[in-house]
Amino acid sequence: MTDKLWGGRFTAKAAKWVDQFGASIGFDQQMAQEDLEGSLAHVAMLGQQGIIPQADADTITAGLHQLQQQLAAGELTFTVANEDIHLNMERLLTDLIGPVAGKLHTARSRNDQVATDFHLWLRHRLPELMQALSDLQSVLVAQADQHADTIMPGYTHLQHAQPITYGHYLLAYFEMFQRDYERFAFNQQHTDILPLGAAALAGTTFPIDREFVAAQLGFSAVYHNSLDAVSDRDFALEFLSNAAILMQHLSRLAEELILWCTYEFNYIEMSDAFSTGSSIMPQKKNADFAELTRGKTGRVYGALMGLLTTMKSLPLAYNKDMQEDKEPVFDAYTTILGSVHIFTGMLDSLTVHEERMHDATIRDFSNATELADYLATKGVPFRKAHAIVGELVLHGLQTGQSLQDMPLADLQAAAPEIDQDVYAELSSEAAVNRRTSLGGTAVANVRQEVSQARALLAAR
**Distance of alpha carbon 133 from alpha carbon 26, whole angstroms:** 30
Q: Characterize the bridge pairing of strands 193-194 and 221-222.
A: parallel
Q: In sequence order, what are the residues at sequence separation of 6 or more whose Cβ sits closer than 8 angstroms to the Cβ of residue 301? A: 244, 247
Catalytic annotation on 427?
no
Using CA atoms, how far residue 152 sits from 214, 269, 379, 388, in Å, is: 54, 15, 30, 26
In 38-62, which positions are buried (b, 16+ CB within 10 angstroms) versus exposed (e)?
bbbbbbbbbbeeebbeeebbebbbe
**CB-CB contact of 57 with 44 (8 Å):** yes
278 catalytic residue (yes or no): yes
Do 347 and 138 contact (CB within 8 A), yes or no? no
- Which of 220, 224, 278, 349 is the catalytic position? 278
What angle, 0 to 180 degrees and rounded to 10, lies between the N-to-C axes of helices 210-217 and 32-48? 140
Q: How far apart are CA 453 and CA 185, in angstroms?
A: 18
Q: Tell me how far apart the alpha carbons of residues 289 and 416 are, in angstroms, rounded to a whole number.
A: 54
DSSP type of residue 267: S
By residue count, the chain amounts to 460
Backbone dihedral angles phi then psi of residue 303, each to the nearest 5 degrees:
-65, -45
Residue 265, SS3?
A: coil
Per DSSP bridges, beta strands 268-269 and 351-352 are antiparallel
Report the C-alpha gap between 327 and 331 in whole angstroms: 6
- Cα 341 from chain centroid (whole Å): 11
Q: Are 13 and 4 in contact (CB under 8 A)?
A: no
Q: How far is CA 141 from CA 145, 253, 267, 456, in A?
A: 6, 15, 19, 11
Q: Which residues are catalytic?
A: 157, 278
